[in-house]
Amino acid sequence: MHRFYLPPEHCHGDIIQLPPNEAHHASRVLRIETGERVAVLDGAGHVIDCEICEVTKRNVILTALKKTYSPPLPCQITLLQAMPKPKAMDYIVQKTTELGAVRIVPLLTDRVIAHVDERSAPDKAAKLQPLAIEAIKQCGSPWLTKIEPPVSLENFLARREQFELPLVASLQSGSRNPHEFIQRFRDTHKRLPKTACLWIGPEGDFTPSEMELILGSGALPISLGSLVLRSDTAAIYGLSVMSCELQSAE
């Protein structure tokens, strides 16, 4: 079944009109026809089963048949990702959205190669958000990952955001298997964390001073194995491990 995305404010009522970009894709690329069944995702937990009732060159009209709500995942995981090159960042957004990241915050750090400043950060977020939309359409997730504007590491830390389980991928000695910290939290609190974050550094990792700031904020250093991973590989691997352990039933 083909899936389309519409913001929640456009998903009320029994008749739904696809926006121009989705209508073009449906009619010209997918060549859907009247009577076909499709699904509409609103990115806020709802999946709407629909039937195509009208297809023209510019418009596709749907009849809503059934609306289903899925609650958020048990643990809300935020990816704090030092920005790699554009293609790698695109890939990270796509794959970590599929893995259930609730939010992605691109970070500007000392070793970041991408040329982005905080003045143009909103434009960068606007370019990345559609990739997350395409990812939820592909995997069927009813929840849309939020892509925030790039921010410097120092400015992000100044927000003093709190996570029940903050983890940072580290190449330093003394880093532990993420399972150890997850199990320690579970033993202490008799439950899994409801919020978590994963810090992923750029190629070459965070600088020592940056790592000191991150650890000083309360993050726990984890190892992603004995091999040195590319930044995009580390993000996907780390999110996979966390999702597997934190999104399962207790």
CATH number at residue 58: 2.40.240.20
Three-state helix/strand/coil letters over 103-169? EEEEEECCCCCCCCCCCCHHHHHHHHHHHHHHHHHHHCCCECCEECCCEEHHHHHHCCCCCCEEEEE
Residue 43: is its pLDDT beyond 90?
A: yes
For residue range 50-68, list pLDDT tens digits in order: 999 999 878 899 999 999 9
CATH number at residue 87: 3.40.1280.10
SS3 state of residue 56: coil
- What is the span of the domain harbouring residue 22? 2-69
Would residue 160 be called left, alpha or beta, if left means φ above 0 and alpha means ψ between -120 and 50 degrees? left
Domain boundary among 69, 92, 107: 69
Whether residue 22 is found in the same domain as residue 85:
no
Would residue 37 be called left, alpha or beta, if left means φ above 0 and alpha means ψ between -120 and 50 degrees? beta
* CA dist., res. 224 & res. 243, Å (int): 14
Whether residue 189 is found in the same domain as residue 116:
yes
Whether residue 227 is found in the same domain as residue 145:
yes
Whether residue 137 is found in the same domain as residue 195:
yes
The predicted model scores a pTM of: 0.93
The confidence band for 146, taking pLDDT boundaries of 50, 70 and 90, is very high
SS3 state of residue 170: coil
Whether residue 124 is found in the same domain as residue 35:
no
First CA to last CA distance, the chain: 32
Whether residue 11 is found in the same domain as residue 40:
yes
Whether residue 62 is found in the same domain as residue 90:
no
Whether residue 7 is found in the same domain as residue 99:
no
* CA dist., res. 173 & res. 82, Å (int): 21
Looking at the chain, the whole-number percentage of residues with pLDDT higher than 70 is 98
Mean pLDDT for 90-119 is 91
Residue 17: is its pLDDT beyond 80?
A: yes
Mean pLDDT, the chain, integer? 94
Domain boundary among 69, 99, 121: 69
Domains identified in the chain, total number: 2
> ∠ at Cα 202 (198, 208), nearest 5°?
85
Identify the CA nearest to 79 among candidates 63, 64, 98.
98
Identify the CA nearest to 196 among candidates 89, 107, 102, 71.
102
Residue 156: is its pLDDT beyond 60?
A: yes
Instruction: Give the residue, 20 or 185, on which the prediction is more confident.
Output: 185
Contact 102, 73 (CB under 8 A): yes
Whether residue 52 is found in the same domain as residue 92:
no
Whether residue 203 is found in the same domain as residue 220:
yes
Residue 121 has a pLDDT of 82
Domain boundary among 12, 42, 69: 69
Whether residue 13 is found in the same domain as residue 131:
no
Both structure tokens of 234: 């580390």
The confidence band for 27, taking pLDDT boundaries of 50, 70 and 90, is confident
Residue 58 has a pLDDT of 83
Residue 120 has a pLDDT of 79
Whether residue 128 is found in the same domain as residue 177:
yes
